[in-house]
Amino acid sequence: MLVHLAQLSDMHVVAEGTDEVLYVDNNGRAAAAVAAIVDESPAMDAVLATGDLTQWGSDAEYDQLAEVIAPLDVPILPIPGNHDTRAGLRRCFPEHPWPSGDGHLSWVVEVEGVRIIGLDTTIPGEPGALFDPGREEWLRTALSNPHAGPTLLAMHHPPFATGIDWMDAAGFVGLDRFVSVVADVHVDRIICGHMHRPMSSMVAGVPAEVGISTAVHVALDLAPDGPLQVIRDPAGYRIWRIDGNAIVAHTRYVDTGETPFTPAWSEIS
């Protein structure tokens, strides 16, 4: 079993002609990442989209998002972010196996033997995360079903403090509850978005990683009470290579103007 997944995150697609100050071309950078994913070889088996797919969750933004991702001809697995709306995601991705009812949009999908659990940690209208008893029951049930291959748990908010205080301030209600679940069950990797820059940690012994954003990035400042700052770092996406139980994540930067070349020292024995 060899599976390749692309991870897009925090695209913050906006309506055409917006006058909002964005500091980068959100739609253009997202489209460049999509084009690069289409050109990947080997081809991706699916695209995991870890939230904040639109800027404010308007119908016009979801219409624009549909245009941006239209070139992708593999399954797209969307997870709500705090900038998304549940109704908008349902409308934009009508073929996705969303749950019935009006609650959180958590789901389970299997891709070529890889089980992917999409956990909705959002609180409608709020920036922070929530893992309440209802979501705990849902996640424990999902993880209790037998599965022979690897299990990826994907969510928008990272379940750890990052040290970027102004981003961490939104909070994660029920974090201890979440950690206890992960400690009790088998999860191979936790995959997140939200932070607009790549980072890694461990949660109850499970590697947890945040994907790179295609929109403007959060500046890295680990000083206590550091200021709210962003930076125009290169856009990109992650590639997850899953070979049996071996899971490797790569970061692909796009639209940098650089192409691969063979260095002179390659001929030195």
> What are the pLDDT digits (tens) for 145-179?
999 999 999 999 999 999 999 999 999 999 999 99
Give residue 240's Cα distance to chain centre: 12
Tokens 């950078």 belong to residue: 29
- Banded pLDDT at 1 (limits 50, 70, 90): confident
Query: Cα separation of 30 and 9, whole Å?
Result: 9
pLDDT average, residue stretch 241-246: 95
Give Cβ neighbours of residue 186 (< 8 Å, ≥ 6 apart).
Answer: 143, 151
Residue-level pLDDT at 269: 58
Please tell me whether residue 86 adopts helix, strand or coil conformation. Answer: helix
Under a CB-based contact definition with an 8 Å cutoff, are residues 96 and 79 in contact? no
Rg (CA), the chain: 18
Q: Compute, in degrees rounded to 10, the torsion defined by CA atoms 184, 191, 155, 79.
A: -140
Residue-level pLDDT at 199: 97
Residue-level pLDDT at 102: 87
Residue-level pLDDT at 50: 98
Query: Cα separation of 244 and 251, whole Å?
Result: 20
Give residue 185's Cα distance to chain centre: 22
Residues of the chain above pLDDT 90, percent: 96
pLDDT average, residue stretch 32-60: 98
pLDDT average, residue stretch 34-62: 98
Residue-level pLDDT at 72: 98
> What is 2-259's CATH superfamily?
Metallo-dependent phosphatases (3.60.21.10)
Give residue 48's Cα distance to chain centre: 6
pLDDT of 88 strictly over 90: yes
